[in-house]
Chains A and B, each alone.
Chain A
Amino acid sequence: MSEQPGKVDAKLGANVFKLDQEPHIVIDTETCRTVCTRRVCLQVCPADLYETNDQGDMTVNWEGCLECGTCLICCDEKALRWEYPRGGFGVQYRMS
C-alpha cells in the first residue's frame, strides 16, 4: 500500500471521470485470498487503486481508474473481471 496516501488522489483530482453505477472491475477475492501470494496489483496500478481491507480482502477503487489495463495484464491469477466502462463513462482525457 502507498506510503503517502493521497498523493495519487490529488493527481486523479485533476481528471474528469464520468461515473457509472456499476463497477467495471470486479475482483474474485476468493482467488486473491486462497491462491495469490504476491498481490502485484498493489504495486503496479499507476492510480494506486488497489487496497487490502480490514478482512484482508482485495478491494479496488474503480472510480478513479485510468483504464490502462496494467492490473489486468499483470494479475498472476487472472482474478479480475475487467472491462472498459460503458460507453460515455469512465475517465475522459482532455490533454493527454
Chain B
Amino acid sequence: MEKVECIVVGGGLAGLVAAYGLAREGVEVMVLERGNYAGAKNVTGGRLYMRPLRRIYPELWDDMPFERPVARELITMLGDGAATTVELASERLSGPSPQSYTIQRAKLDQWLADKATAAGAMVVTDMKADELLRDGERVIGVRAGGDEVGAEVTIIAEGVLGLLSGGAGLREQPRAADHAVGFKEIIELPPGVIEDRWRLNEGEGAAQLFMGDVTRGMTGGGFLYTNRASIALGVVVSMEQMRTRSDELESWELLDAFKEAAQIKPLVRGGELAEYSAHAVFEGGIDKLPRSYGAGYLLAGEAAGFALNALVTVRGMDLAIASGWAAARAALAARAAGDSSAAALAVYERFLRETFVMRAMEAGRGVPRAIENRRLFSEYPGAVARLLEGFFAVDDESSATLVRTSLRGARREFLKIDTLKDLWSLRKV
C-alpha cells in the first residue's frame, strides 16, 4: 500500500488549514476533496469572524479574498405584519482590523487550497474518500477512487454529516434534534445599489439577521449578508421542528415567503438569482461533541461538532479554521514523538483548549436549550412591534394615553414569569 505521512479528508476550511500547517513544517500531506475544487460543495451564511483568527498563522491572512468588511449590524424582528430593526454602525466593527468579513466559499477555500499547495501539500480534487481503512481500533488510511493509501495520521475534516467517521463508528450518526438545515439564495445586485440600500460606505458591508415570522414559530431565523456584487439571503431552521410539523409546510417555502415579505421585498428588488444552496448545520452544542481523536486519526471542523448556532447567528468557519490549526499541531507532536496512538494524539484536546474553540463551545452551552424556546421566535417579535407601534401611533386619543396603553400592553406581554425565565436562559447568548 502506498503511504503518505498524513491524509486529510475534506478540503474545507478545517482540512485546508490543517494541511497548510503540516506542509509548512515539511510533512508529506495529501488532501482529498470530492468537489471540482475546494469550496465547490460548501455552503455558509457568509460571515467569517476574523478577530480570533489573526493569531493563527498570522502570515496567512493578508491577501484573503473577502467580499466586504461588516460595518453595519442589523437585527430585524418580524412578526404580526411588522418589522422592528435594531441597528449598529460602529467604527469598531470595521476600522483597520474589521471584526468580520462576508466571504464566498468557492473563492475562500480555493485561495486556502492554493496556500496549502504552495506550502507543499498535495490537494487532490474530484476525489471522494470512500472508506476509512482500519486495523482494529486504529485508522490506517483511506480507500478512494479504487485505491488504498495509508497514513500515519488521518485528519477527518469531512464536515457536518460525518458520513465516513459516522460509518466507521468514530462518532454517532447525525440526529435531527442536533441539527438545523440552512438554505440560501445568492442574489446579484450592483455594488452601488447594495451600498445605497444598506447605507454603506464604498466597499463596506452589512449583516442583517431576522427572527420571528421567517420560521413560522420554529427555532431559527433568516440572514442576509452583503457580498461585493450580490447578497446572500437565507433561512436556517431546526430539522427536528421542521420534520415534526403537523401542517403541509415545506422547508423551501420559508425562503420564498421570507423573500416576498413586504419588509424584505424592497431589499432584494431588481436582484437576479445566481445560485441556490442548502447545507446542514450542527447545533447540538458542547454536550454532544464526539471524541475528537483516536488511534491514527483526528476529527476537525464541523465533523467534530465545532459549530455554534446561537439564536440567529451561525458560527463555524472560525472554529473550523482554529481546529484545523490545532489538528496540525497535534499531528506534528505525534510525528515528533514517533507515536500516533490515541494517547499521543490526545494532545489535540489541549491545543483545542488553547485556542478559542473550546471557550466558544463552552460559552454556547446554554444555547441549545434556549433556542428550543419557541416563544422567542414566535411571540416576542410581534410583541416588540406592537409596543413600538404604540409609540409611533397618531390617532384620536392623546399620545400620552397611547403610550400608557401600549406600555401596559407591553407589561402584559413581556412581564410574564416565562419572560424572566427566557431572559435567564439567554444571559449567556
Q: Nearest CB to that of B249 among chain A residues?
A: A43
- Contact yes or no, A11 B176, CB < 8 A: no
Measured CB to CB, the closest approach of chain A to B231, in angstroms, equals: 11
- A43-B249, A84-B34 are known contacts. Are A68 and B278 too (CB-CB below 8 A)? yes
Interface-central residue, A47, A73, A90, by most chain B CB under 10 Å? A73
- Contact yes or no, A46 B252, CB < 8 A: yes
Q: Nearest CB to that of B246 among chain A residues?
A: A38
Measured CB to CB, the closest approach of chain B to A85, in angstroms, equals: 8
- A7-B256, A69-B160, A96-B104 are known contacts. Are A15 and B278 too (CB-CB below 8 A)? no
> Cβ of A56 < 8 Å from any Cβ of B?
no
Report Cα–Cα, A86/B186, bound state, in Å.
26
Report Cα–Cα, A70/B281, bound state, in Å.
10
> Cβ of B175 < 8 Å from any Cβ of A?
yes
From A10, A47, A92, give the contact of B35 (CB < 8 A).
A92
Binding site for B on A (CB under 8 A): 2, 7-8, 10-12, 14-15, 18, 40, 42-48, 66-70, 72-74, 83-88, 90-96
- Contact yes or no, B251 A43, CB < 8 A: yes
Report Cα–Cα, A44/B249, bound state, in Å.
9
Q: Nearest CB to that of A41 among chain B residues?
A: B243
From B105, B251, B280, give the contact of A96 (CB < 8 A).
B105
Binding site for A on B (CB under 8 A): 34-37, 39-44, 104-106, 125-128, 144-145, 160-161, 163, 174-176, 179, 181, 183-186, 227, 230, 232, 239, 242-243, 245, 248-253, 256, 273-280
- Contact yes or no, A48 B250, CB < 8 A: yes
Q: Nearest CB to that of B144 among chain A residues?
A: A87
- Contact yes or no, A47 B230, CB < 8 A: no
- Contact yes or no, B278 A46, CB < 8 A: yes
- A95-B186, A95-B274 are known contacts. Are A73 and B251 too (CB-CB below 8 A)? no
Measured CB to CB, the closest approach of chain A to B260, in angstroms, equals: 11
From B106, B184, B186, B278, give the contact of A47 (CB < 8 A).
B278
- Contact yes or no, A44 B105, CB < 8 A: no
Measured CB to CB, the closest approach of chain A to B218, in angstroms, equals: 12
- Contact yes or no, B242 A43, CB < 8 A: yes
Measured CB to CB, the closest approach of chain A to B91, in angstroms, equals: 30
- A43-B248, A95-B186, A96-B232 are known contacts. Are A68 and B276 too (CB-CB below 8 A)? no
